[in-house]
Amino acid sequence: MTKEFTILNKDLKVDLNNPIDLSLTSKSQNSFKAWYVKEVQYRTIQGEGFTGSVKEGGAVNFREILINPHGNTTHTESVGHISELDVFINETLNHFHFLAQVISLTPEIIEKDKNEIQKKGDRCIFLDQILNKIDPDAEALIIRSQKIYNELHNKKYDGTNWPYLDRLTAKYIRDQGIKHLLIDQPSVDKENDKGTLLSHKAFWNYPQEIDRGRTITELIGVPDHINDGIYLLNLTTINLENDASPSRPIIYKLF
């Protein structure tokens, strides 16, 4: 199904029959995870005369799910993630389609300690790697920093000191007008950054303001065959009052 539409005064066509899913599948076993959380846990509801399992003789499957959006799922978060104020993700997104740029960046290895946070051996994406590369029409930026897509589905990030964005990189992305930042790492910040959250704060300009219009989506996966360029992004979350929600970002090729 090909549809024509106008966005940012551009007449474009999109093929809705070929979605490209950037979310990763969360499972109870052998699933990707971060932040030392447990795997997704399922509990069958049972009561007097009721079993929430068809395999065990019940009429329906009826389970509770224990899940941590930040550690178990591809997820989208609001500034409420780092703010004392309740800023719920279901209120942050009030429309769901954006022009998005996919850009591949290889984190650089830091050769010597730079400061208290950035240490020798860290892998970081610096400003000069992205300078003047953001399309002025892009509303969302999708950063691919890992090369082997298939490994992302069961990757365990705990204790790996994953690559992260330099604070100036995050600030530059904001200054270029990007509203929605997506990355294939558990966080835009370093795993152990002593709670400074420099890139989160730079992208949201926190605590100078409570930016209710921008989101960060983490733990995505960009398939290897997808080229860098401009796509149509559909970014949706569940309708949940929380700082973050599991999400399923989908992109479509444009013509």
Q: What is the pLDDT of residues 79-118, one digit of tens each?
A: 999 999 999 999 999 899 999 999 999 999 999 999 999 9
Residue pLDDT, tens place only, 59-84:
999 999 999 999 999 999 999 999 99
Categorize the per-residue pLDDT at 171 as very low, low, confident or very high, splitting at 50, 70 and 90: very high
Question: Across all residues in the chain, what is the average pLDDT?
Answer: 96
Considering the domain boundaries, does residue 110 fall inside one?
yes
Has residue 106 been placed in a domain? yes
Q: Where residue 153 sits, what CATH number does that domain have?
A: 3.50.30.50
Q: For residue 35, is it within any domain?
A: no
45 within some domain: no
pLDDT tens-digit map of 197-211: 999 999 999 999 999
Sign of CA dihedral 227, 233, 244, 61: negative
How is residue 224 annotated by DSSP? T
Question: Across residues 1-17, what is the average pLDDT?
Answer: 82
Q: Which two tokens stand for residue 195?
A: 């709670």
pLDDT at 11 over 90: no
DSSP 8: T
Q: Can you list the alpha helix ranges (DSSP code H) found in the chain?
A: 69-72, 89-92, 127-130, 167-175, 198-204
Structural domain contains residue 88:
yes
* CA 173 – CA 184 distance, rounded (Å): 16
63 located within any domain: no
* Maximum pairwise Cα distance, the chain: 65
Q: Cβ of 39: how many Cβ atoms within 10 Å?
A: 17
- The answer to whether residue 164 sits within a structural domain is yes
100 assigned to some structural domain: yes
Phi, psi (deg, nearest 5) at residue 148:
-110, 95
> Hey, which residues does 26 pair with through a beta bridge?
none
> Cα(172)–Cα(182) distance, rounded to whole angstroms?
15
State the total domains in the chain: 1
Residue 160, domain extent: 2-24+69-253
